[in-house]
Amino acid sequence: MFSKVIIAEDQDDINQGVYIALCDLGISEIEQTQYCDDTFVKVKRAAMDGRPYELLITDLFFKEDHRYQKYTSGDSLANALKKEYPDMKTIVYSVEDRFQKVRSIMIPGDIDAYVCKGRKGLDELKEAICKVYEGESYLSPQVRAAMSPKADTEINDYDITIIKQLALGLSQPEISRYMEQEGISPYSLSSVEKRINKLKDIFRAKNPAHLVAIAKDMGLV
């Protein structure tokens, strides 16, 4: 498990919660900071001292006050640190659960985990720390869909063609042959089969007939 962790969080009570969670995981050295700039300096100092932090847990939003801050948000801090210390892991811990924000933070690939503050936030944080320690990434369940692959949500003309042929009563091998004739690839039976299964998932359909019924309802075919 990580031994040296730094937390950037301006809310004392939350700090307290995170601290307890980290203690539960048996992390010995926990540094808490209230300002992004302080965090930056401390990480730098530790690295110069030859004892770098292994993990940064940061909030995204920091209330502005009288102190001028070079880094005003958690993601700008994380990005700056990642450039200098690529080995240090980063977990964002935030109330922010809008997908567009999550996507904008996670897509560049610098952040290892995104945990939403919520009823189960601390449990998810613990899980995230474990995953990140093992070199994996983690997303809280409520924002996981934000990063789901495109194929899960977007259908294209190929999909519509398959559903149309299903609606016409063609079997899967017949669809495969049809695709081959029309010069549409991939047309192999296995890819058609795979695609139909995927479409059943997407349309929450129990079987191909159900899929056609829903697609018809939606006016797709």
Partner 1 sequence: MKLFKNSFPFLFIFLLCFCTQNSYAIQQPADSLLYYYPIINQPTNHTDLSDAFTYFEKKRKESLREKDTLNAIFYARYVAEVQNKLGFLYESEVTTIEALKLLDLAGGKDTLIEPRIGLYNHLGMLCRQRHDYDKALYYYNNSLNIAITEEHRYAVWNNMANVYKDQRKYDKAIVELEKVYGYAIQSKNDIILSRSLNNLGVVQAKLGLSEGLSNMEKALALRKKINYIPGIITSYTHLIDYYLDNGRREKAAALAEEARKVAYSSNNPKWRSHVLSRIIDLKEDPDVLAFKKYTDSVSNADLMQRNKYISAKYNFEAQERRARESELQRVKERSRRIVFQFVLLFIILISFLVYRYLRIRQKRKILQEVSASEARISRKMHDEIANDMYRVMTNLQTRHQLSGEILDDLDDIYSRTRDISREIQTPESGKDYADILKGLLLQFRTEKVNIILNGLSGISWDSVKEDKKRMLYKILQELMVNMRKHSEASVVLLQFRRSGKNVLVEYKDNGKGCDLGKGSGLTNAETRMKLVGGTISFVSEPGEGFRAKIII
Residue numbers at the binding site for partner 1 (CB under 8 A): 11-14, 16-17, 20, 61, 63, 95-104, 117-119, 121-122, 145-146, 148, 150, 153-156, 160, 202-204, 214, 217-220
| Tokens at 186, concatenated | 């991939």
Nearest distance in Å: CB 145, partner 1? 5
Considering beta carbons, is residue 43 or 111 the nearer one to partner 1? 111
| Tokens at 42, concatenated | 């401390």
| 155-164 contacts, C-beta under 8 A, 24 or more apart | 155/199, 155/202, 158/184, 158/195, 159/195, 159/199, 160/220, 160/221, 162/192, 162/195, 162/196, 162/199, 163/199, 163/211, 163/212, 163/215, 163/220, 163/221, 164/221
Whether residue 186 is preceded by a cis peptide bond, meaning omega within 30 degrees of 0, is yes
Considering beta carbons, is residue 17 or 186 the nearer one to partner 1? 17
Placement of tokens 């996981």 in the chain = 144
Considering beta carbons, is residue 192 or 199 the nearer one to partner 1? 199
Considering beta carbons, is residue 80 or 220 the nearer one to partner 1? 220
Considering beta carbons, is residue 130 or 202 the nearer one to partner 1? 202
Nearest distance in Å: CB 75, partner 1? 13
| Tokens at 80, concatenated | 């700056």
Reduced to 3 states (helix: H, G, I; strand: E, B; else coil), residue 140 is coil
Placement of tokens 């995927």 in the chain = 198
Considering beta carbons, is residue 70 or 98 the nearer one to partner 1? 98
Placement of tokens 């004739």 in the chain = 181
Cα separation, 93 vs 120, whole angstroms: 12
